[in-house]
A and B are shown apart, each in its own frame.
Chain A
Amino acid sequence: MARRDRVPPAGDEEIDFHVEMQTKRYIAEGMSPVAARAKALRRLGDLDPARLASRAIALEMETAMLRSARWSSLMQDTRFAARVLRGSPLFTLTALITLAIGIGAAAAIFAVVNAVMLRDLPYPHASRTMMIWNSYQQEGLEHAAVAPEEFADLTARVQAFDRLAALRPQVTTLTGACSTGADCEPERLNAYVVSPGLFDLLGVGPALGRTFTEADGVSGAPRVVMLTDGLWRRRFGGDPAIIGRAITLGGVTREVIGVMSAGIRFPDEPIGYLKQRPDAWIPVNWEAVRDGRGNQYLEVLARLRPDAGPSAAQANLDAIAEDFRTRFPDRYAPPTVQWRLATLPLRDEMFGDVRPALLLLFGAVGCVLLIACANVANLTVARGTTRRRELAVRAALGAGRGRLVQQLMIETVLLTAAGALLGLGVAELALRSAVALNPGNVPGLDQARVDVFVILFAAGLALLSGVLVGLPPALGQSHADPQPGLADGARGVGTSVARQRVRGSLVVAEVALAVIVLVGAGLLVRSFVAMARVDTGFDASSTMTAHLTLPRASYTPGARAVAFHQALIERLSALPGVARASGVYPLPMSDDSWSGTIVIEGRDQTPGLPPAHAEYAVAYPGYFGTMGIRLVEGREFGPEDAAGSQLAGIVDTEFVRTYWPGESGLGKRISTFGNASTGPWTTIVGVVEHVRNRGARAAGEPQFYFSALQKPEYGMTFVVRANVDPASLAPAIRTAVRELDPALPIASLVPMDAVVARFTARERFNVVLFTVFGLVALALAGVGLYGVLASLVSQRTREIGIRLALGGRPAHLVRRVMSEGLVLAAIGLTLGIAAAAALSRFIATLLFAIEPLDPLTYAAIAVLVLAVSLAASYWPARRATLVDPVTVLRGL
């Protein structure tokens, strides 16, 4: 066999060879050896300049040759490794599955992190785009919207920003015009009313037509609209002639002036209270809309000047805020409200609050991957015992240590690469189920897919885990002195003590890592349960909700809308399977919520105190009974609370506690949005239980309700309490609506518990993923423990056989083996608990009503891990007692 891995001194060997051959020739021609050699050397002459000249060239050539030799040995080793792996299918399969799970989970979470945290926003100016909020630290409202008057002031005074834009949602109905006659059903649209400069601010442009200009927002200008690519294709068949056509939105005719580039549906991810992606945009110059400072409904975007940083922007806003305080001390100055103007990057607003959870998931998945690597390393070490003969033979045949290490490393990298390939499949599946699990409120999740970054990431993981898995056992095995390896053959005990120690520490690490993930999962599960236990104030079970918005054009005046609603409630109540029906707006825990300042009769509005503020809603008679909201005092709305009679209101217990502590709320009067305390007054006729509108995490503000009979609303959510499965009522509800107005689209038909579930969807997402990862980690660690003990038993078959033959009791043997396993598990458990406790502060922000060091969770995880370790140790121990002493003794 040719030796290829050695560089001879350039040229010299070749020339020595030449001289030698030449000498032989002269001897053959009859010269004496001495004369022959002298002549050969003479002929050679002075070779030094030639040697020097050729040395550089030679070196270059040698390197190239060596490289190709390395490559061919690499290919040879790769083919060999593939053969070896095919030769032990059980090992290969186990390792592949383990690695596929580990790498797949990591790649899937990386895909989500990539989509949510690393991906660029699709707006050219995104990096300079900030948002501006009213921040009320006292009330925990850090990101409150901005009133039009405030927006006008900001527009006039900002210096650190070169452009401002505001927007608010407007749900509307598209009627008439469409490309094909068949699709002309009315359609509910999410539109946004935006500053004309919004798209310039973001740096995005139209695919067709034009974007808005400042002239479009002015009152009295022709009414125009921009469509999203999706709406244009869906409704108008992608017809380019759409530009200049008139469409009817909410009964108002608007000319289509542009279609936005595909992929832009601003806001593409939720910002502030804007949760929905739009279908169309309508322009208004918000700074000219003067409807006070109390009604804060605008989300404000601002683009930093190229020469200004975020801190300059904040300083600019602080100065403006100071001016606000001077001009309107009642509103902004009271120390109790702790008001200020805040600004943060758009990106943080869109994705900021999922970041901690994602990083934790990433950490959890990293633990799972490490466990998987440890497991495969364990398998490799175990296999090392049986492969020692093969390696010893190869070493005896002249394979160097480097070559053996190369061989073993290639084997593991081949394994991890195949594992990564399978892992990408796992990741794809995992992403699909994650998207299915998520009802749309983890921003960006639907963008997560296995793309080139994820593939590169998986390739990196394959390489990394290849090194993690392969290097320690490879270095250990290649030491193998051929002599003992060949001599003790299959019985090999050899260095098994050292090997057991390596495997033992791997198992300890696995258990510790699993404990960390499990503690995280346990804490999340506990806090999820705690959240579910919080009393929301209403009963979501067996309740169906249906939302619809009446078009103003055909239901003016408001009394017509009220008449329609009443007729619909009557029909819904009469449906088979329905116990009661009523209507409310906004629905608890829905995307919309109303709040505003109020005046309370007899309560002085002292300067320096924040004005009274509350959430409110309109409700039809029977709403509280239908929703299961407990009536504490007084009565529900009735038919008597209709237009023309005294305005009736119902407040919640929180309202009474805040504004009339120790008194009854009945007969008290409040007024909304009035600047003076002159009314019109609404008289309180009932007090109901407080409803947690923003889910379990926030207690929420005081609440009051108007009678919907007296305050006509075009958008209304109907709630139906059913005796049957609420979802089964959907067709009947549709029919009831169609019978009353065939042109009316139902915006949503959702059981109430699904509405509530959406509020906890993110928590459920975290819980499910963490739990899955925790269980996978536990299973892998259990398998690792089992594997170590099983091979321990099989290696000690002789010892065990002798013990049994000498009268050792099987029970004693079981205890011995099991205690070895339990010692490993206990060390891992202790280390894991300590590490989990140290890391738990990172999970604190995700917890609800549970301490990061919650003793119950840690105890439960300890018990779980010990139970699994017991099971994993028991079976190998049992096997030990089945050793037949006679066979063993005969084998000696």
Chain B
Amino acid sequence: MPTFPQGTLDLMVLRTLSLGPRHGYGIARWIEQTTDDALAVEEGALYPALHRLQRRGWIKARWARSELKKDIKLYELTAAGRAELRRRTADWTALAAAMGKVLKARP
């Protein structure tokens, strides 16, 4: 499975949470399923990323009862996070288009 560049995980987490609150495992599974398991989300990267995003105020957490009848943190997007997602999506789309042009260009 390919890994992905630094910074793209944050963007994927924000995107995932823009669809509704999820716990950490849920976020990882959603990304893996959506990419047809093409991308593996490593726990060692995911949880620090969640804390990082939280500290910047883009996501927030609350306790809820999980499907295993345990207390688990649910993450959700804040208004600031939504704005950040919009900005980064635009950046990423522009970058991907530019990359595509470069890679497909003929001499």
Contacts and interface: CB of A to CB of B under 8 A. Distances in A.
A3 interface: yes
Nearest to B52: A57
A15 B25 CA distance: 8
Nearest to B54: A61
A54 B48 contact: yes
A2 B25 contact: no
Contacts of A45: 42-44
A60 interface: yes
Interface string B43-73: 1110110011011000001111110101111
Given A13-B71, A17-B70, A22 B62 contact: no
A4 B65 CA distance: 11
Contacts of A61: 51, 54-55, 61
A730 interface: no
A65 interface: yes
A58 interface: yes
B63 A44 contact: no
Nearest to B66: A17
A21 B65 CA distance: 14
B23 interface: yes
A51 B48 CA distance: 8
Given A14-B24, A14-B73, A17-B70, A60 B55 contact: yes
A14 B74 CA distance: 10
A43 B63 contact: no
B47 A13 contact: no
Nearest to A44: B43
Which of A4, A50, A51, A60 has the most B CB atoms < 10 Å from its CB? Answer: A50
A15 B43 contact: yes
Interface string A853-884: 00000000000000000000000000000000
Nearest to B55: A57
A13 B63 CA distance: 12
A11 B24 CA distance: 10
B66 A57 contact: no
Contacts of A22: 25
A43 B71 contact: no
A54 B51 contact: yes
Interface residues of A, number: 29
A2 B71 contact: yes
A604 interface: no
A8 interface: yes
A53 interface: yes
A394 to B, nearest CB: 21
A11 B54 CA distance: 13
Contacts of B55: 57, 60-61
Which of A21, A43, A57 has the most B CB atoms < 10 Å from its CB? Answer: A21
A20 B66 CA distance: 12
Given A2-B63, A8-B71, A11-B47, A17 B42 contact: no
A383 interface: no
Nearest to A69: B63
B43 A65 contact: no
A714 B70 CA distance: 99
A50 B48 contact: yes
Contacts of B25: 17-18, 21-22
Interface in B67-107: 68, 70-73
A307 interface: no
A291 interface: no
Contacts of B47: 11, 14-15, 47, 50-51, 54
Contacts of A21: 25, 29, 68
A57 B54 contact: yes
Contacts of A47: 43-44, 47
B97 to A, nearest CB: 34
Contacts of A18: 24-25, 28, 43
Which of B28, B45, B51, B68 has the most A CB atoms < 10 Å from its CB? Answer: B51
Given A11-B47, A15-B47, A50-B44, A20 B63 contact: no
Contacts of A57: 51-52, 54-55
Nearest to B40: A43
Nearest to A10: B51
A65 B61 contact: yes
Interface string A2-40: 111000100101110110111001000000000000000
A54 B64 CA distance: 20
A663 interface: no
A65 B71 contact: no
A507 B28 CA distance: 67
B58 to A, nearest CB: 13
A70 B73 CA distance: 17
A779 B42 CA distance: 75
A842 to B, nearest CB: 58
Contacts of B52: 57
Contacts of B71: 2-3, 8, 13
Contacts of B29: 21, 25
Nearest to B73: A14
B72 A17 contact: yes
Interface in B4-62: 23-25, 28-29, 42-45, 47-48, 51-52, 54-55, 61-62
A603 to B, nearest CB: 97
B21 to A, nearest CB: 14
Nearest to B70: A17
A48 to B, nearest CB: 9
Contacts of B44: 44-47, 49-50
A18 B25 CA distance: 5
Contacts of A20: 68
A2 B47 CA distance: 23
Interface in A338-390: none
5 closest A-B pairs by beta carbon, nearest first, are A57-B51, A21-B25, A54-B51, A18-B25, A50-B44
10 contacts: A8-B71, A14-B24, A14-B73, A18-B24, A21-B29, A49-B44, A50-B44, A54-B48, A58-B51, A65-B61
Interface of B: 23-25, 28-29, 42-45, 47-48, 51-52, 54-55, 61-66, 68, 70-73
Given A18-B25, A54-B51, 12 more contacts: A13-B71, A13-B72, A17-B25, A17-B70, A50-B44, A50-B47, A50-B48, A51-B47, A54-B48, A57-B52, A57-B54, A61-B51
